Structure 1
Amino acid sequence: MGCGDSSAPDSDLLGTGPGVSACGANGVLLCDDFEQATVGGAPDPVSWQVQVFNQLGSISIDGTQAHSGTKSVHVVGTGQESFRSVLFTTTRPFPPQHNSFYARVFMRSKNPMGEGHSTYFGAGSADNQRMVRIGFQQYVLETNLIQPNNEYEQLSGPWGQPAQGVQLKEGEWHCVEAFFDGAQHELRVWFDNVEVTGLHATNWNANLSKWSPQYAKAWFGFETYHSEQDELWYDDIIIGTQRIGCGG
């Protein structure tokens, strides 16, 4: 699967152990399991702002699928536009201390990953000119960096060999976590609590040094650039200053 061992043992992670919640742990900036939201409505506007590009798709609270509890956020990306954005973006204050934070989310996809390039979640600058995004391309989990006039990418497996990369299985919940380390200009990604070493970025294989955005926001949803379509569910999102892991 192209993964290496996580460097942090489970005992060091937030919310580990049966029945333990990470929401009240030190360093948690945002924690939402969407249980207080209304089915059919939008995620809590105190924490999230919804954006649906050209009204191609929808975002709503769903009571039929959940990783924990009974509710999750249902994101539907439809239409044939080459660029389409269906996102819910944090409204909580950024940037975090030292311009660095962890984001953990449980995700469920109706469809397998496609060939085209799409994003599940990311973070970036206030003006959207610099972004770090986690999604898929060539049927595997990938990351990419957007800067003015430049884009860089890393795949979780060799190009054209999807069986050697990391893939979301349709109809199953997966835990995806990323460390956006703006202080050290580094990105790390974990899939189901195992680090994806192929997505560890320090210079994006391009001899970059100070490449990190000044992180002003984070977002989740479905953004596609090659007319991909999907339905996704998001649950138990935590943003914090410490490694979170898949417990709690």
Structure 2
Amino acid sequence: MRLVAALTTALLLGMAGPAAATTTHRDSCAGDLLFCENFERLPTGGPSTLDWGVDTRNGTLSVERARRGKVLHLHTVGNGRAFLRVDDFAAPGNRFYGRLRLRVDAFPTAPDWAHFTLVEATGSGSAEVVRPIGGQYAPTVPGTFWGVGADGGPTGDWTNWRESAPVTEDAWQCFEWALDPAGNRVSVWIDGVANPELTASTTEHGGNAVPFVLPAVDTVKIGWQLYQAGPTPSQFDLWMDDIALSTHRLGC
């Protein structure tokens, strides 16, 4: 019976195909990647590595042990920021994918229109600060939602939150994004599911008349920043794991 059960399980897994495959924590940095960090090799405490830098204001980053292995704990006070920073980044043809596993203890519920971002890409050739993962508290619903992934420069997309993409608190989720200079497109997946309503492109960027143009990305920051003072809650805690940048989509 055990043999039959094992064969049945193997058959079902085979039928599920690549979409059902998941990456285990310890091999999440396997393969030819542009950047990867799963924190397993780092000591606990303040980050100690030459592979990436830190950008903080009223915030801290620390490596902790968790049930899933080691993770990065980010803590900010008020409208502080805490980012892992990848400098001297270069993707072939300026086209790349990102992946991040994330758990946020609580999102802001005040002040009205509180805006937060978790991924930021900048570079030369464009004034845009591209923030593919971010969102906003909307008091008119009310609720907190993920928003369209273009932000700095002329776009103003941070106001383009989507009711179809509500945030989830205190649960691990997988976020993926892609930046593609063909059409200046920014794409987002949440837990492996495409979210086309969060897409930005040359002409799809909050209705702004000025075309959206991706920079030649040389810096990627991954972490947390809130932009309004006096938020509720007054401090934020989140945990990140299996951060990767690649020339191809990695999946969850």
Classify the TM-score, shorter chain.
0.7 to 0.9
Indicate yes or no: 2:235 matched with 1:236. no
Q: Which moved further from structure 2: 125-134 or 164-173?
A: 125-134
Partner amino acid for 1:24?
A: A
Q: C-alpha distance in 2, partners of 1:131/1:197?
A: 20
Q: C-alpha distance in 1, partners of 2:60/2:174?
A: 23
List per-residue Cα deviations over 1:37-83 (Å, max 9, x = no partner).
Answer: 111121x5322101112xx12111111x36x4x2111000113x5xx
- Over the matched positions of the two proteins, sequence identity in percent amounts to 24
TM-score scaled by structure 1? 0.77
Query: Secondary structure of the residue that 2:220 maps to in structure 1?
Result: strand
- Assess, with a 3 A threshold, how the Cα gap between structure 1 residues 113 and 241 changes in structure 2: closer, same or farther: farther
Deviation at 1:143, TM superposition (A): 3.1
Q: Which has the higher contact order (CA 8 A, sep 6+)?
A: 1
Q: C-alpha distance in 2, partners of 1:128/1:110?
A: 34
Deviation at 1:113, TM superposition (A): 5.1
Partner amino acid for 2:82?
A: V
Q: C-alpha distance in 2, partners of 1:87/1:128?
A: 22
Query: Secondary structure of the residue that 1:131 maps to in structure 2?
Result: coil
Indicate yes or no: 2:197 matched with 1:192. no
- Which structure has the larger Rg? 2
- Assess, with a 3 A threshold, how the Cα gap between structure 1 residues 18 and 155 changes in structure 2: closer, same or farther: same
Partner amino acid for 1:223?
A: Q
Q: C-alpha distance in 2, partners of 1:17/1:223?
A: 29
**Match of residue 95 from structure 1:** 90
Query: Secondary structure of the residue that 1:39 maps to in structure 2?
Result: coil
Computed over aligned residues only, the root mean square deviation of the Cα atoms, in angstroms, reads 2.7
Deviation at 1:186, TM superposition (A): 0.3
Assess if the C-alpha contact under 8 Å between 2:126 and 2:213 holds in 1: no
TM-score scaled by structure 2? 0.76
List per-residue Cα deviations over 1:61-118 (Å, max 9, x = no partner).
Answer: 111x36x4x2111000113x5xx32111113x42211111101000001114545101
Deviation at 1:209, TM superposition (A): 4.1
Give 5+ residue unaligned stretches, structure 1.
1-9, 158-163
**Match of residue 116 from structure 2:** 118
List per-residue Cα deviations over 1:91-148 (Å, max 9, x = no partner).
Answer: 3x42211111101000001114545101011211269942111211121011343444
Task: Write out aligned runs for 1:166-185 (5 A).
Answer: 166-185=165-184
Assess if the C-alpha contact under 8 Å between 2:95 and 2:181 holds in 1: yes
Q: C-alpha distance in 1, partners of 2:51/2:166?
A: 29
Deviation at 1:149, TM superposition (A): 5.6
Indicate yes or no: 2:222 matched with 1:220. yes
Assess if the C-alpha contact under 8 Å between 1:113 and 1:136 holds in 2: no
- Assess, with a 3 A threshold, how the Cα gap between structure 1 residues 152 and 72 changes in structure 2: closer, same or farther: same
Partner amino acid for 1:95?
A: A
Give 5+ residue unaligned stretches, structure 2.
1-15, 138-143
Deviation at 1:221, TM superposition (A): 1.0
- Structure with the larger helix share: 2
Task: Write out aligned runs for 1:78-89 (5 A).
Answer: 78-79=77-78, 81=79, 84-89=80-85
Deviation at 1:25, TM superposition (A): 3.0
Partner amino acid for 2:117?
A: T
Q: C-alpha distance in 1, partners of 2:183/2:92?
A: 13
**Match of residue 34 from structure 2:** 29
Q: C-alpha distance in 2, partners of 1:186/1:11?
A: 28
Deviation at 1:197, TM superposition (A): 1.4
Assess if the C-alpha contact under 8 Å between 2:149 and 2:186 holds in 1: no
